[in-house]
Amino acid sequence: MAIGLFKLSYNQRKTLSVIFLVLNIFEVVLGGSITGLSIYVGVSISPLILTEKAEIDFVFVVYGVFGVNIMMNWLIGIKICYKCFNQAHKKSTRSLLLLWYCAGTNTVIMLIIIANMSRKVNKHIVKSMKNSIQSGMKSYLTDLDSKETIDTIQYRLECCGDESYKDWQSIEWMDDTMINTKSKEVEELRFDKNKLYLPVIPWSCCKIQYPMQCFHDPVQQTALANLWADAPDTITDSLNVKGCVEKMKAPLGWIIDLITMVISGITILHVITVLVSRILYTSCRNAVLLYDPEGIAPGWIFGRGDCGYARGKTLTEIMGITNEILEQRILEDRNKDKSRTRKGLDSKGSKSYKSNVTDDGIKSNSSKVGSSTVVKKRPKSELESVIEGATETEVSSK
């Protein structure tokens, strides 16, 4: 019994081949989108991370590699589309199609596994970002690279600290070598007598569009130091108060969500592509078996002649064709072969070839020219073995 049986005309098979081609192109585009998103993370987001950068890069390199794998696999699918439609009777088509199924399915399974891990990966990346910013804040004045990175993040993203601007006031990013801790102003501004916590914030936390001067350092802005106590809203109005982790994780979050959706789309399209290619391939193959390449032929997802399966209705039973009709098709096909062979020989103008042609136009030494030129009634047992067995080995030997 054939699973997913469809009887297709030549035009329908042609339309199905176009659908097969379009599905492959869609898969290539989706694979390219995964690779593009991975490159975007590597170029735009990864450089902003100070710690665990290698691990994060590795995750998106894996995404990128699988994206390229998808593009290559379904670019090959375009070639397979041509072979299924025009060369379904060849053994190489069957072998290539099977190999393509295995490679594509393996890639999709790996992508599904990666997609399921994406949420955990996202949480790990957010944690790495937080650790990276906190580490950079602590070494802000002692390490030039950290200072440049933190300033770049805060200036470009218009953010401050890891969770809020107050993070700068709860870490010791300055020491007594940079500031006079014994001065009266510093003593008044300190939040903790044992730790050097001050309401001092880097200039990169200032709002770009603020119309007045930015209030970020009461130690240096001594004339306005009273504002920190009397008008705290004025201080916060001049600063970017939102943390940088929230703004950094937002694009990564939607990138991972988008990659997950793309992988889901690839999986669905892969299943559809496999089904379409099976129906197209078997219909084109069966059309050759029925000696009617441009006529109606059944196609299926799985049926007689696939993987040694020999149960269910035969091709003649499915199409309602008698053996006599099929035998007539075979004779007509061989007559066409004989006519093409005779024309080919005549065009060469070889005397040695002409001497081998008898009065009825059939070459006598047929074994030299090819068995396909001999008009010979095929025994019923042989006819049944081709049509009833319909194995792919027999098709490829035609």
- Average pLDDT value for residue range 205-213: 87
- Per-residue pLDDT averaged across 141-167, rounded? 89
Instruction: Name which of 170, 146, 168 is nearest 51 in CA terms.
Output: 146
Alpha-carbon span 170 to 363, nearest angstrom? 100
Secondary element (H or E) of residue 8: strand 6-8
Residue 363, SS3 per DSSP: strand
* Distance, CA of 72 to chain centre: 9
Mean pLDDT of 69-83: 93
Work out the angle at residue 382's Cα, subtended by the Cα atoms of residues 305 and 93, and round it to the nearest 5 degrees: 35
Half-sphere exposure of 140 (CA within 13 A, CB side): 22
If pLDDT is split at 50, 70 and 90, which confidence band does 99 have?
Answer: very high
Q: If DSSP codes are grouped into helix, strand and coil, which group holds residue 386?
A: helix
Q: For the chain, how big is the Rg over CA atoms in Å?
A: 37
Tokens standing for residue 388: 């009833």
For 206-322, where are the alpha helices, taking DSSP H only? 227-230, 232-237, 244-289, 315-319
What residues pair up with 8 in beta bridges, in sequence order?
Answer: 297
Which candidate, 61, 63, 67, 75, places its Cα nearest to that of 32?
67
Produce one character per residue of 302-334: b if its CB has 16 or more CB atoms within 10 Å, e if not. Answer: ebbbbeeeeeeebbbebbebeeeebbeebeebb
| Tokens at 264, concatenated | 């889901």
pTM over 0.85: no
Among residues 352, 351, 353, 355, the alpha carbon closest in space to that of 341 is found at: 353
Q: Is the pLDDT of residue 374 over 60?
A: no
CB 322 within 8 A of CB 316: yes
d(CA 380, CA 203): 93
105-134, pLDDT tens digit by residue? 998 998 888 888 877 777 877 887 888 888
Please tell me the predicted confidence (pLDDT) of residue 363: 37
What is residue 318's predicted lDDT score, i.e. its pLDDT?
A: 83
Q: Could you report the per-residue pLDDT of 252-308, keeping only the tens digit for each?
A: 888 888 988 999 999 999 999 999 999 999 999 989 888 888 889 898 888 877 777
Long-range contacts of 334-343 (CB under 8 A, 24+ apart): 334/372, 334/373, 334/374, 334/375, 334/376, 335/375, 337/372, 337/373, 338/362, 338/372, 338/373, 338/375, 341/369, 341/370, 341/372, 341/373
Which residue type does 93 have? T
Nearest alpha-carbon partner for 277 in 55, 21, 9: 21
Confidence grade of residue 380 (pLDDT, cut at 50, 70, 90): very low
